[in-house]
Structure 1
Amino acid sequence: MKKRKTPIVTLILMLIFPAGIMAQQPAWVDYAKRNSMYPQSDYLTGFVSAHNTNNEDPGKLMDKYEEMAKSKVIQSIQVSIETNNSLTLSNVNGKSGEEFRSKSVSFSSATITGLKAERYYDRKKNDVYAFAYVSKKELAWYN
């Protein structure tokens, strides 16, 4: 009778705990494995990770970081930069002075066919990871 309880208990535990809690860390989280699986010669990639210091909702945090990873891929293709410069020269009581100010803002927006994204939340460490990638061959085919 004891031999039969073990498979039943295991089955019950598998049904109670969702797969996400028992999920293993994906290989792409590791830098060396990611570069091996998605070489720069064949893929454009974007990777972001962070520690959940503010105890944000893991689902919302993963959504946010997935978008950041996608944005990194898009920025590697096209970025528009808007710059506003100003130079102020002054001469007060025979003393010269100058002040240079510069403000730059970058914008990137594109729809990329074949862009894929993955995300992972490590519940033990409270770390979030997101990875986006697109094959250069697939990108060239559609553009």
Structure 2
Amino acid sequence: MASQAFEEIAETFEFLDDWEDRYRHVIELGQELDALEEEFRVPATKVDGCASQVWLMPAVKGQGADAIFDFRGESDAMIVRGLVAVLQALYSGLTVREVLEVDAGAELGRLGLDEHLSSQRSNGVRSMVERIRRIAQETL
């Protein structure tokens, strides 16, 4: 299960044969993200386990399992900022219950990211997914 925005990314990736083109597309997605204000780049929003600096700011609307999940994010590395955008597309707009049902590994695997990211970047993505899931779990 993934959001429509993520499905659109997956469809675009199907048309991009070369990993370099996919890599550029991920960077472009990151460039489209709104910058996270400096006051939200604090230890409480920083994601541990990433080689780059990454901040995720939750924006959950409502309470309980049917609350709508969203977040804003930022990174000091272009590719990681793009990965934040991919995760935002994967999760934003889902209910908290749906967020917990997403198999992020399988969904991201559809993009081939697992095959082309360095181990540090892969660990960073896992850390971001863990943070997202923790926020969703706490909302329940």
Which structure: greater helix fraction?
Answer: 2
TM-score with structure 1 setting the length: 0.22
TM-score with structure 2 setting the length: 0.22
Which structure: greater strand fraction?
Answer: 1
